[in-house]
Amino acid sequence: MLILGLESSCDETAAALVAGDGCVVAHRLAGQEAAHAPYGGVVPEIAARAHADALEPLIRAALADAGVTLRDIDAVAATAGPGLIGGVMVGLVTGKALAHAAGKPLLAVNHLEGHALSPRLAYRMEGRDLPFPYLLLLVSGGHCQLLVVDGVGRYRRLATTIDDAAGEAFDKTAKLLGLGFPGGPAVERAAAEGDARAVPLPRPLVGSGEPHFSFAGLKSAVARAAGHYPPADLAASFQRAVIDCLVDRTRLALDRAGPVGALVVAGGVAANAGVRAALEELAAARGLAFAAPPGWLCTDNAAMIAWAGAERLAAGLTDPLDVPARPRWPLDPAAEPVRGAGVKA
Ligand code: KG4
Ligand code: ZN
């Protein structure tokens, strides 16, 4: 079984071919950093146009890398949301056209499901299985959630952020410290040179009875401290505060998750070595397996979309060609919005 995956929900255009056994046969990606850098963040209209320009050549390149044609694939998986709607529509319409032309099933994949199932692909790449259920910490530029993954399409949200996402906090801190965009990797590099105890910063919601997240206050504290401390010390102290929040909230969620076999972290912030190490320690203390995809599979990519498509196809969950693109699309439709956090659902 061979799945073509397409991703275009934010500022990464990507196409990949993934086999049902977890072999990533080809993956191509084009970032848009240079196009958005002058604005200090992603501009939706620029992103949509860049996706429209980049996607077809990437698909051709991925097919050529694999030495196959559209006739050889078994299904087309495209991100159908959540994300910037212009970009999502570019990828989804392209996926629909290819599926229709090739007479193959379409899989309209929730981008968050791509992240959520990516650790299973990472395990499969190593010849291992990551069984359900597991607790997932999903930390990206747009999302910060704790979910129990009971199976394909079966997600129970235990917590979300009441303001910023963790990756957003990294991006805003990088901007404040003049470290550039995207911020996560820049903050991590600067933090490696700094003292994490140098700047006293808050740990919002740590110790609170619900495992939700909040990062807006931390960002404001960094803004107040900026200029009074070396940037490297600020970066290190900020990163330490985020890690403390993530670990504390995840610990509480583990208490409430019911039986799970593993602690899993996914999304762009999971590429951070300090975040991974702290969560691995928590998993070990609880006697749980730990899974985090390799860096290239943590940040946005099409291999995770193709893999989620493969898992959905195996479960018989294909989609009609009139399936809509969705700017918002919670993984757990039953989850209640929390105070001020509707937009993060
Ligand atoms: O999953 P992703 O590529 O896109 C979204 O779906 O949002 O995540 C991007 C986010 C950005 O906020 C970026 O700054 C953050 O992940 N990120 C990191 C690191 N690499 C990427 N944050 C901390 N440390 C990193 N090494
Ligand atoms: Zn993402």
For the Cβ of 186 lying below 6 angstroms from any atom of ligand 1, the answer is no
Percent of the chain with pLDDT over 90: 92
In short, whether 167's Cβ falls inside 6 Å of ligand 1 is: yes
Per-position b or e across 183-214, b if 16+ CB within 10 A of its CB: bbbbbbebbeebebebbebebbbeeeeebbbb
Whether the pLDDT of residue 345 is over 60: the answer is no
- In Å, how far are 17, 26, 57, 84, 117 from 62, measured between CA atoms? 7, 5, 9, 24, 22
Region 292-309: what's the mean pLDDT? 97
Structure tokens that stand for 321 in this block: 């060609």
| Residue from 269, 298, 304, 344 to probe ligand 1 pocket by mutation (most atoms less than 8 Å from CB) | 269
Handedness of CA 208, 209, 211, 216 (dihedral sign): negative
CB atoms inside a 10 Å sphere around CB 134: 23
| pLDDT, tens digit (0-9, with 9 covering 90-100), for 99-135 | 999 999 999 999 999 999 999 999 999 999 999 999 9
Angle at 331 between CA 327 and CA 333, to 5 degrees: 90
Compute, in angstroms, the gap from residue 235 CA to the centroid of ligand 1. Answer: 15
The token pair that represents 63 in the structure block: 């097919």
pLDDT band at residue 94, thresholds of 50, 70 and 90? very high
Ligand having the closest approach to the CA of 182 = 1
105 alpha carbon – ligand 2 mean position (Å): 24
Inter-axis angle of helices 166-176 and 216-225, nearest 10: 10
Q: How far is the CA of 267 from the centre of ligand 2 (A)?
A: 6
Distance CA 304, CA 24 (A): 10
Closest ligand 1 atom, CA of 182? 14
Task: Using the predicted structure, report yes or no on whether residue 341 has a pLDDT greater than 50.
Answer: no
**pLDDT for res 344:** 39
Whether 171 is in the pocket of ligand 1, judged by its Cβ within 6 Å, is: yes
* Ligand 1 atom at minimum distance from 273 CA: 26
CA of 71 to the centre of ligand 2 (A): 29
Tell me: the pLDDT tens digits for 163-192?
999 999 999 999 999 998 779 999 999 999
68 CA to centre of ligand 1 in angstroms: 32
Does residue 215 carry a pLDDT above 90?
Answer: yes
Ligand that comes closest to the CA of residue 266: 1
Report the alpha-carbon distance of residue 54 to residue 69 in Å, rounded. Answer: 19
Beta strand pairing call for 2-7 and 75-81: parallel
Q: What pLDDT is stored for residue 284 in this prediction?
A: 98
Tokens of 244: 């403390």
Burial-class residue 336 by CB neighbours within 10 Å (0-12, 13-18, 19+): exposed
- What is the pLDDT averaged over residues 223-250? 97
Helix extents (H) in the chain: 33-36, 44-66, 85-102, 111-125, 166-176, 183-191, 216-225, 231-256, 273-285, 295-298, 303-314
For 307-316, how does the pLDDT look when each residue is reduced to its tens digit (9 = 90+)? 999 999 999 9
Q: Which ligand is nearest to the CA of 114?
A: 2
Ligand 2 centre from 197 Cα, in Å? 30
Please tell me the distance from the alpha carbon of residue 261 to that of residue 151, in angstroms, as a whole number: 13
CA nearest neighbour of 144 among 168, 120, 121: 168
First to last CA, the chain: 33
Give 340's pLDDT tier (boundaries 50, 70, 90): low
Cα dihedral angle (94, 98, 104, 110), rounded to 10 degrees? -10
Separation of 341 CA from ligand 2 center, angstroms? 18
Q: Is the Cβ atom of 185 under 6 angstroms away from ligand 1?
A: yes
Ligand whose nearest atom lies closest to the CA of 139: 1
Q: What is the mean pLDDT of the chain?
A: 95
